[in-house]
Amino acid sequence: MTDATRRIDKALDKAEQALERLDAIHGADSAASADERLGQAAESSELLSSVWATPPSERLKFGDGWRLADAIGGATPGFHGDKADGERFIRISADQIARYQRLLYANGLKGARNRVLIILQGMDASGKGSLVKHVFRQGNPMGIHYHGFGAPSEEERAHDFLWRVERELPRPGWIAVFDRSHYEDVVMPHVWGTLPEEEWRPRYGRIVDFERDLAQDGCAIIKIFLAVSPEEQLRHFLGRLDDPTKHWKFAMSDLDARDRWDDYMAAWQEVFECTSTDFAPWHVVPADNRWYSRAVVSELLRDAIVGMNLAWPGFDADVDLGEVRRRLEA
């Protein structure tokens, strides 16, 4: 066992112990206040985050000098443990996300505007769909909205390109996950020439304005590009051909996109340069090791909700606690 693995195991042990204390103060007989419970939850989350040598929000954020072509699909930047450590991290983080999701949802019901939008992009077989299943393994379906965007329908093409996206945005208190998104409406015409450049290029500015308005209205935006290598994609494609239960996942268009790999990378590089902002930055996540990409997204999501500094809503103004107890005990 390496020193890095020992450090990570120790941090994960402490995070689990903190969760056990949190379970104790959430018991029916507990006299812990709402603030004390939030403090214990924050302690556990902070201990869990300490496994990262550098937080993904910093290490993987697109910035000046970032070149998508230099992304190494099999790397695990900022996380020095192995697959077992990563999967243990995901399990603990999923528990914490479920707790913070309830807090977010409760605030949304009481009028707060806080919500989360996760945008997942990547080449075919980069792991977008399975990532959602693992990150939200303990989440409550009430409060999570998942939507996959394919080629626009005839009805959608008759509207502005953001029309179909606006219909799927998270309600207050909810988490929405987009498997592909409005960015397809820039990348696809860029690569394939399906629209004149003077039509698709101004969409960069439209997207930045759209996301700025969302962020100012209380929506945390987490944008992820899963950077899978061509070699790893090939492995998954061949696996789909050999497994009859996965034949439905394969389409000839997957090969067309693979043939244009460099064109796609150039188009996405321009997307990042034009739309990665302080209020909605892009994170380029190596995705050959799926346990790593899942751990990264789990960390980014949990960190985003913790950063909202939410409190548990109290009783409505018309609730008379004394009267409630008398009526319940009558």
Q: Per residue in 249-271, pLDDT tens?
A: 888 888 999 999 999 999 999 99
Which pLDDT score, from 0 to 100, does residue 288 have?
Answer: 96
Instruction: Confirm if 54 and 283 have CB atoms less than 8 A apart.
Output: no
Identify whether 326 is part of a domain.
no
Identify whether 75 is part of a domain.
yes
Which pLDDT score, from 0 to 100, does residue 240 have?
Answer: 92
Identify whether 325 is part of a domain.
no
3-state secondary structure of 198: helix
| Token duo for residue 95 | 């528990």
Comparing 317 with 186, which gets the higher pLDDT? 186
Query: In this structure, are 97 and 154 located in the same domain?
Result: yes
Query: In this structure, are 110 and 170 located in the same domain?
Result: yes
Which pLDDT score, from 0 to 100, does residue 28 have?
Answer: 59
Instruction: Confirm if 275 and 205 have CB atoms less than 8 A apart.
Output: no
Query: In this structure, are 230 and 111 located in the same domain?
Result: yes
**pLDDT exceeds 80 at position 156:** yes
Query: In this structure, are 93 and 221 located in the same domain?
Result: yes
Lowest mean pLDDT among 11-20, 173-182, 286-295: 11-20
3-state secondary structure of 313: coil
Range from 11-20, 44-53, 159-168, 320-329 that averages highest in pLDDT: 159-168
Which pLDDT score, from 0 to 100, does residue 1 have?
Answer: 61
Domain that includes residue 152, residue range: 59-311
Identify whether 317 is part of a domain.
no
The mean pLDDT of the chain is 93
Query: In this structure, are 126 and 242 located in the same domain?
Result: yes
Could you report how far apart the first and last alpha carbons of the chain are, in Å? Answer: 62
Burial class (CB in 10 A: 0-12, 13-18, 19+), 278: exposed
Query: In this structure, are 121 and 227 located in the same domain?
Result: yes
Query: In this structure, are 121 and 202 located in the same domain?
Result: yes
Using the 3D structure, point to which of 10, 32, 51 is the last residue of a domain. Answer: 51
Which amino acid is it at 147? H
Query: In this structure, are 36 and 175 located in the same domain?
Result: no
Domain harbouring 301, CATH code: 3.40.50.300
Identify whether 324 is part of a domain.
no
Identify whether 63 is part of a domain.
yes
Identify whether 278 is part of a domain.
yes
Comparing 16 with 323, which gets the higher pLDDT? 323
Number of Cα atoms under 13 Å in the Cβ half of residue 283: 26
Query: In this structure, are 110 and 66 located in the same domain?
Result: yes
Query: In this structure, are 147 and 290 located in the same domain?
Result: yes
305: Cβ–Cβ under 8 A, 6 or more apart, which residues? 97, 100, 101, 103, 104, 116, 220
Instruction: Confirm if 214 and 274 have CB atoms less than 8 A apart.
Output: no
Domain count, the chain: 2
Identify whether 149 is part of a domain.
yes
Query: In this structure, are 194 and 255 located in the same domain?
Result: yes
Query: In this structure, are 82 and 16 located in the same domain?
Result: no
